């Protein structure tokens, strides 16, 4: 759900996201999703309770919507409706024996069916969703990923379009909300993203939510596991190599590729009980390096009043003359 509008003076401000639903054929999974009834609806409809432990119920018409001559019969002194009853005599007897028929105090009125609240799934969700809150700045699930979607949104989508044990594929999984929802709902999943930052973030998210043992249930591909993998990543994307190195230290990567003064990440740590924190600056060099890079890091540490710095390089630094 979106809660802010644009200042468009000559039209209604567009303030909605559109979800498109496709199926390869007509044989697609579709599970209706329900929401609880409103308090107003419950108070107005479910007003009856026989205090027999079955809870409140509402009364429903037992008249057939279409003419049913074979269901036109007298029932316990009550004359049939013009179209006949909705149920056969056998079914009516079952409902009667089960105490599910409400009888009026006069034969001039017709019996009605008791529909108990605890047997109703709720209200079918329509195509306008206003009950899922956006991820605001103080949301507990906020990860700082620019395109992050609410977990409740993906849970609803997966609940409607898949069953437990099905495989869910998200080829642009970002911070892993779809993966998280699939794991929570008992679906198998495959997540793909081009950035190592996203992959590391999803891995950390799953371990934080489901415990460290969850790591034994999935495999991470494309992330360096040795020096050869690190070389391959650097050749493919030096920026991704830097972010991967920073994530290995549980540091926050720098999102800027230029103007970062050689600082690729920051580690924050508590200084005291009042909430103050210190910083460790991280600098990564995947290619050729020299002592000047170390001096630059020292200068930045001093100018930014950081506690210390970490210098990571893949190529040995030559000794300074």
Residue 180's nearest CA partner among 201, 160, 161 is 201
3-state secondary structure of 222: coil
Q: Where in the chain is the domain with CATH 3.40.50.150?
A: 1-32+127-223
What does pTM read for this prediction? 0.70
State the pLDDT at residue 223: 83
Instruction: Give me the pLDDT at residue 47, please.
Output: 94
Does position 320 have pLDDT exceeding 60, yes or no?
Answer: no
For residue 282, pLDDT over 80 is answered with yes
Tell me: pLDDT of 259 over 70.
Answer: no
Question: CB count, 10 Å around CB of 124?
Answer: 9
Closest CA to 183 of 197, 198, 173: 173
Q: CA nearest 179: which of 194, 190, 167, 171?
A: 190
pLDDT at 318 over 60: no
Query: What is the distance between the alpha carbons of residues 130 and 116, in angstroms, rounded to a whole number?
Result: 27
Other beta carbons within 10 Å of 71: 19
pLDDT tens column, 23-41: 989 899 999 999 999 999 9
Span 122-141, pLDDT tens digits: 999 999 998 888 888 778 88
Distance between the two ends of the chain, CA-based, in angstroms? 62
- Pair 300, 312: CB distance under 8 Å: no
pLDDT tens, position by position, 59-107: 999 999 999 999 999 999 999 999 999 999 999 999 999 999 999 999 9
Report the CATH number of the 1-32+127-223 domain.
Answer: 3.40.50.150
> Tell me, what's the pLDDT at 16?
81
Residues 95, 98, 104, 108, CA torsion sign:
positive
CA distance 19 to 17: 7
Q: Which residues pair with 309 in a beta bridge?
A: 281
- Whole-angstrom Cα distance, residue 194 to residue 215? 20
pLDDT of residue 321: 45
To the question of domain 227-313 being in CATH 3.40.50.2000, the answer is: no
> b/e string for 199-214 if b means 16 or more Cβ within 10 A?
bbbbbebbeeeeeeee
Q: What is the location of CATH 3.40.1350.10 in the chain?
A: 227-313
Report residue 317 as tokens.
Answer: 């630094």
């Amino acid at each position: 759900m979106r809660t802010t509008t644009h200042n468009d003076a000559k039209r209604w401000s567009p303030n909605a996201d559109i979800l498109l639903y496709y199926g390869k054929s007509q044989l697609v999974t579709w599970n209706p999703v329900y929401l609880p009834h409103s308090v107003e609806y419950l108070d107005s409809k479910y007003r009856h309770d026989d205090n027999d432990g079955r809870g409140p119920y509402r009364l429903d018409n037992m008249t057939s919507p279409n003419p049913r001559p074979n269901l036109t019969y007298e029932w316990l002194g009550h004359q049939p409706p013009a179209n006949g009853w909705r149920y056969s005599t056998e079914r009516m007897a079952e409902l009667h024996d089960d105490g599910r028929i409400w009888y009026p105090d006069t034969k001039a009125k017709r019996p009605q069916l008791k529909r108990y609240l605890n047997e109703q799934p709720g209200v079918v969700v329509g195509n306008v969703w206003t009950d899922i809150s956006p991820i605001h700045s103080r949301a507990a699930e906020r990860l700082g990923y620019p395109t992050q979607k609410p977990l409740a949104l993906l849970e609803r989508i997966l609940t409607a379009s898949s069953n437990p044990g099905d495989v869910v594929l998200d080829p642009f999984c970002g911070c892993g909300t779809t993966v998280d929802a699939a794991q929570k709902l008992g679906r198998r999943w495959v997540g793909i993203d081009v950035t190592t930052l996203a992959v590391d973030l999803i891995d950390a998210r799953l371990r934080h939510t489901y415990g460290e043992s969850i790591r034994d249930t999935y495999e991470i591909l494309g992330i360096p596991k040795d020096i050869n993998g690190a070389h391959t990543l650097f050749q493919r994307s030096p920026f991704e190599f830097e972010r991967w190195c920073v994530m290995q230290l549980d540091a926050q990567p720098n999102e800027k590729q230029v103007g970062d003064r050689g600082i690729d990440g920051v580690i924050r740590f508590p200084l005291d009980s009042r909430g103050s924190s210190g910083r460790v600056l991280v600098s990564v060099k995947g290619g050729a390096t020299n002592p000047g890079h170390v001096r630059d890091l020292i200068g930045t540490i001093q100018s930014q009043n950081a506690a210390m710095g970490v210098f990571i390089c893949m190529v040995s630094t030559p000794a300074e003359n």
